[in-house]
Amino acid sequence: MKTVATWVLAAALWTSFALADDAPPCMAGSSAIGINNGQVLQWETSTPNQFLARGHVSGPIVQVYPDQNGHHHFAIQIGQDPSNRLEVIYNEDFGSVPQMSEGMNVEACGDYITSTAQSAQYPASPDGAIIHWVHQSPNLAKHPSGFLMVDGVLYGQDAENAGPKQ
């Protein structure tokens, strides 16, 4: 059973890595970054609440949380240990996404935040960390764009029709 589970996880991660060629570049400043699951896992365990960096992660959905205020919330597996999870938060103002379900392969580029305690009105993440702003930016001068790919399809690219421009 463990061998089958390991193979399924490896296949899901390989598929996610393979999808990276179809995704736009994930930018951190003026540099494109590759998938950095290992770095994100290190940040989860070594940085304080509200630490912020650019993340580019991939993995299968392992849990879907209730939508909140026009945002989809779900957890992806980004490492071999079952606790190696990250909450992805997607703002549906930037385009619709399919009904999320466990097993779907996700690649996301956006803002990584360590989320182990409540901050202002935002509760701690059930996974201890989030990646959000996984969509185009309506104002690139103020914030870099991100993206979300689900099973090889790109989402989050409708900044023109999104909510208020910041």
Does the pTM surpass 0.75? The reply is yes
- Which pLDDT belongs to residue 162? 66
pLDDT at 101 over 90: yes
- Which pLDDT belongs to residue 137? 84
Q: Beta-carbon neighbour count of residue 20 at 10 Å?
A: 16
Please state, for a pLDDT cut of 70, what percent of the chain lies above it: 83
* Token code pair at residue 140: 């690139």
* Token code pair at residue 122: 């935002």
Closest CA to 106 of 153, 55, 42: 153
pLDDT at 1 over 50: no
The pLDDT tens digits for 27-60 are 998 999 999 999 999 999 999 999 999 999 999 9
- Which pLDDT belongs to residue 160? 73
The pLDDT tens digits for 63-96 are 999 998 889 999 999 999 999 999 999 999 898 9
Give residue 76's Cα distance to chain centre. Answer: 8
Average pLDDT, the chain: 85
DSSP symbols for 68-96: ETTEEEEEEE-SSSTT-EEEEEEEGGG--
Fold of the CATH domain 2-161:
OB fold (Dihydrolipoamide Acetyltransferase, E2P) (2.40.50)
pLDDT at 6 over 90: no
